[in-house]
Amino acid sequence: MEFSILLLLGLLASCAHGSSSDRQDDYRPLTFKGQRYSCKCYNGDRCWPSKKSWDALNKTVNGNLQAVVPRGNVCYEKFGTQSTYNADQCTKATEDLTVGVKVVTDPIAPFWPFYSNNTCDPLPNVSNKTCTLGYLPEYVILAKTVAHIQAGVKFSAKKNLRLVIRNTGHDFMSRSTGFGALAINTHDFDSISFTTKYKGPGAWRGGAVTMGAGVMIKDVYNQAYAQTPKVVVVGGECPTVGMAGGYIQGGGHGPLSGIHGLAADNALEFQVVTAEGNHVTANAKKNPDLFWALAGGGPATFGVVTRVTMKTHSEIPSVGMILNITSQQTNYWKGISIFNSMTPNFVDAGMYVWYAFTATGQFNIQPFVAPNLSRAQFDAVINPFLNALRSNNITFTHDIQEHATFYTLYQAMFAKANDRGMSQTLMGGRLFTRDDIKTSNDAIVSAFKAILENPDGGRKVIGGHVVNPGHGVPNVNNGVSPLWRNVASHNLVIVPAPFENTWEGRKELEGNVTNVYGKLLRDAAPKSGSYVNEGDVNEVDWQHAFWGSNYPRLLRIKEKWDPKRVFYARSTPGTEGWAEINDGRLCRKR
């Protein structure tokens, strides 16, 4: 499912199938259009581990290895050779997998099932069909200890298996699932501890929090507020995002980024299992190159993070505003243009804004967040925007609230967007800098309009965040793209996809995201970039779009710490030459 050479069904040669053995090199290369590949090992290949090997691994991880069974199997007549349909259990499974806090407890279910191939979604009225794994892993280790993670990494390396890392499944870009893989689930690493004075290497001597790999944003927000004195941590708005996983490893923006930077800017230390299976510390003194890369250099590509230590900051008063503009007025798009043109003003005040709009519907902003601004300071920033709307005869509703703390504002005002499971969508997006907005606002808004009004079916949404971590933290030394220091807005293109679709239909949707909608945004602001955690996984020139001038150093660090490519996540450092081909097999050009 990657790169332009892929996925014309029926035209690809297949890897050899045969009896299982324990020889990791006993498989035939795959050839496609004259290009030779070496593939990871898959079930049915002669190199696939024997039952004895899997049993031995299960013993090593204290019985925490499971064969993956999609929860939706109870909605289907069969899973494999077993009859599985159960109407009552299907109803329960359908309900559970639309609730974010239920999805995270599943061993392997993705929030966005498009990249699982929709072959066993828990949907009613499908009892006459057969459930298959699709692009889900074959096995998953429900890791309870670091030793379990080490065993899984070593086993996958020795047996040449694809390895997938999952902590919550809250992943827009398919990186927490993978066809035929061995998965390691870190969700049970849920410890949280606070200190009022960090004593590790570096200049920081303020408070800090150490979190296990399975800790979610909602958990750390709640516990931070319970501290004496109350503190805050840089996190996102969606409750089920895993703090120590792809979020911080990809950068991690949030409502406090305008004053405290990205989550990666607040990283103090990582504990990580490397490709060799070693458990090491990475901070400013120990393994500083690995520390630099883990702080924003890409998810699940340099190692398996078991815990992270981050800065904490004092709680602060915050002002918020919700605003809505309906599309049932002539100047609807003028209102969007005014908003977009003023995003540099908002980020220059350290503000954060979450918004979404469609071609026909509402322009919803929920909310503006002004951390550590008084009401008078907030009004000074926001009134020019409101007055511009009024002077253009754009009607709106709004609600301004003052809160004594950021935490209470977060609980009262955030829509908790994108925290539902079974969201059958694709995503693209673009980071626009303050300079892009000032010089190309009309072109950007025209691109938005063209995307939403494109008659290719489905009710597309433009959403995103007004955020500039460079306002609070202008100078950093980590793997995050330098473009983030001048960003004004991070825009998302959210595209619905049918649950039942042909292979060709699926690829057409992905192509639209990259080559139609993505091209419109790239053409509107050619010097812009994209966000590694919330963008198009097939992004053109993803190395530069995601990491800019930092990419060459990230690639060198990847080569040092994972030369055999034990870790793979799509469009991350070191994945050049790799492709998911044929039936989803991960292969590398020879």
Whether 86 has a pLDDT exceeding 90, the answer reads yes
Q: Which two tokens stand for residue 370?
A: 């002004």
Average pLDDT, the chain: 91
Domains and CATH numbers, the chain: 30-187+567-589 (3.30.43.10), 192-314 (3.30.465.10), 318-549 (3.40.462.20)
Q: Minimal CA–CA distance to 316: which of 400, 258, 380?
A: 258
Separation CA 136–CA 182 (nearest Å)? 9
Per DSSP, the residues of 574-585 read: T-TTEEEETTTE
pTM recorded for the entire structure: 0.93
Q: Are 315 and 230 in contact (CB under 8 A)?
A: yes
Q: What is the DSSP code (8-state) at residue 94? A: H
Q: 32 falls in which pLDDT band (50, 70, 90)? A: low
Confidence (pLDDT) at 421: 75
State the pLDDT at residue 129. 87
Residue that wins the pLDDT comparison between 538 and 28:
538
Three-class DSSP category at 65: strand
Residue 558 has pLDDT above 50, yes or no: yes
Rounded (5°) CA angle 395-400-402: 175
SS3 93: helix
Give the per-residue pLDDT at 417: 52
578-to-263, 487, 524, 572, 574 alpha-carbon distances in Å: 29, 31, 30, 11, 9
Burial 469-506 (b: 16+ CB within 10 A, else e): bbbbbeebebbbbebbbbbbbbbbbbbebeeebeeeeb
Summarised one tens digit per residue, pLDDT across range 508-519 is 899 999 999 999
Q: Which of 195, 221, 406 is nearest to 315 (CA)?
A: 406
